[in-house]
Structure 1
Amino acid sequence: MSHARNRLPYLLSFVAPGVLVYACFVMAPIALSFGYSLTNASLLLPQTRFVGISNYVQLLHDSTFLQSLKVTTILTLIVVIVPNVAGVGVALLLDRRGWLYNALRSVFFVPVVLSSVVVSVVWMSMLQDDGLINQLLGIRVGWLSDPDLALYSIGLIMSWQMLGFCSVIYLAALQGVPQSLHEAAAIDGAGPWTRFRKVTWPLLAPALTTNTVMLLITGFKAYDHVQVLTAGGPGLGTTATVAFNVIQVGFTANRTGESSAMAILMLVIIATVSGLVLRLLNRREVNL
């Protein structure tokens, strides 16, 4: 017991800086945002008064917020599904030895480390009406100017940027699959598809969990791509996500209390959905 007491100051000295940083840069802003969400705070109003949950009630009846929630949901589904499916395919293609495959792994991972603004600017130039994509396809499509296509274009751009991340996670999981299992399945007469479905895919379950949760968070907090590519348009809020509206309401319309309530709601939604998905996927891992 005395040894544990003697080690306690040393443990606290290691833990305290991390806890302090987390409290200052994570918990404190969340607490402040929650406090502002219960007021009519505004950057232009010197006096602030307590309004309770009226900001939250107003948001639940606000068509603009509900539209942004729908846009965010659609965008998140695209960002979760496309990189996961494509990432498995790319990982299977790159699961080989040789300098060429090592180089290709680096190439696929480059977009992940690039700034979202840089990626958006590059793709915006290529997706213009007279841009590179339309010239190569020999068509004239408004990828970012057509309200029916803009949201899906943003989703595919975000998916392209996250593809390298998913591929690396799946590739690491593939390299941990024992070769003896594939050999045993092949001896039993299993073809490539059967080996993948019965042997490889179940062992990729932890990678699927990691990728899905990360992509969920990425999709729900999408802002940079929307701001650069479409600024919430074309049309009225056709690509405006919840994160985009938080910035617009808080800093453009100067309704700090309402934007804080929107941010808190988004935090609750992300935490709830991520927790449920994580629990379901973890249960799937156990069952497999």
Structure 2
Amino acid sequence: MLAPIVLSVAYSFTNANQFAPETHFTGLDNYTRLLGDEEFLTALKVTTILTLIVVIVPNVCGLAVALLLDRDGWLYKALRSVFFVPVVLSAVVVSVVWQAMLTDDGLVNTVLRSLGVDTPPGWLSDPDIALYSVGFIISWQMLGFCAVVYLAGLQGVPQELHEAAAIDGAGPWLRFRKVTWPMLAPALTINTVMLLITGFKAYDHIQVLTNGGPGTGTTATLAFSVVQTGFTANRTGEASAMALIMLVIVAVVSSVVLRFLQRREVDF
């Protein structure tokens, strides 16, 4: 694990190129070039938007699903398994299925036309909404993971606390806000950090669904740009610098978020 990182650090200070006859030390040239490169800054913006979608949507929807499924009975147990199925599927399989559903003649637009929508959106072909479509698909796949984590948290809340709050006159909403939600802080921490990493490393879905388009870089994340720069353009040094910048961003953001969320956790 350490060797590729060390090699990437070394390459990032060179003009390494698969087709260049010689590799020379270039210092911080790759880094300074990237920080002023419009494509890199666009990829950073795209990654930020996508990560926000992937963090917020599965967290909110996963909590809602967990609250609905926090009941006894075989039906609810079966539904828990159903919601978790997308999590164990590969990103490629999920992307291929959704790509077929979101084409102009796919299931989604066919249903919309039957409901009277004359011109359904181009979910993956419209530059204005393609990124949000990708974010929705990744969120859909991660929803089951978040729901299971929240469900485990819900089942770990002592029933005595709910009973004491009810005796004091607290209604369902107040019990959730004052009892359940604080106890779910560890689950929120786990989900948020996992979703942050998922958003930042998003590549497979984008490669299959949009290939970085439509247009120029409208859905090209940092991870996608690293692969394109390193293996398509063969600029190994620049790709290594880009990957290390991404690594630093992920490490810093994850550490800050982790520290902030852990302050909310309570012991019982």
TM-score normalised over the length of structure 1: 0.90
Superposed counterparts of 1:172-211, under 5 Å: 172-211=152-191
Within 2, Cα distance between the matches of 1:46 and 1:167?
53
Match in the other structure for 1:95: 70
2:127 pairs with one of 147, 150, 157: 147
| 2:237 aligned residue (257, 269, 272) | 257
Give % identity: 75
Return the match for 2:251 from 260, 264, 271: 271
**Which secondary structure does the structure 2 equivalent of 1:238 belong to?**
coil
Q: Does 1:112 align with 2:92?
A: no
How far is the alpha carbon of 1:286 from its aligned partner?
5.2
Give unpaired runs (5+ residues) of structure 1.
Answer: 1-25
User: Which of 7, 12, 34 is equivalent to 2:9?
Assistant: 34
Aligned partner of 1:137 in structure 2 is 112
Alignment length (residue pairs)? 263
Say which structure is richer in helix.
1
Alpha-carbon distance in structure 1 between the residues aligned to 2:165 and 2:112: 43
Please tell me the residue identity of whatever aligns with 1:207.
A
TM-aligned CA deviation for residue 180 of structure 1: 1.3
Equivalent residues of 2:182, 2:266 under 8 A apart: no
Moved >3 Å (runs of 4+): none
* AA in 1 matched with 2:81: S
Alpha-carbon separation, structure 1, partners of 2:112 and 2:173: 33
Alpha-carbon displacement from aligned partner over 1:92-144 (angstroms, at most 9, x marks no partner): 01111111111101000000000000000000000011110111222321000
**d(CA) in 2 for partners of 1:134, 1:156:** 16
Q: Which runs of 5+ in 2 are unaligned?
A: none
Deviation string for 1:60-85 (max 9, x for gaps)?
00000000000000000000000000
- Output one character per residue of 1:149-178: Cα deviation in whole Å (capped at 9) or x when no partner: 100000000000000000000000000001
Q: TM-score, normalised by structure 2?
A: 0.96
Task: Name which of structure 1's ranges 132-141 and 85-94 shifts more when overlaid on structure 2.
Answer: 132-141
**Alpha-carbon contact 2:34-2:40 (below 8 Å) kept:** yes
Give, in whole Å, the separation in 2 of the partners of 1:80 and 1:269: 16
Q: 1:77 to 1:131 in 2, by over 3 A?
A: same
2:18 to 33, 36, 43: 43
CA contact (8 A) 2:185 2:266 kept: no
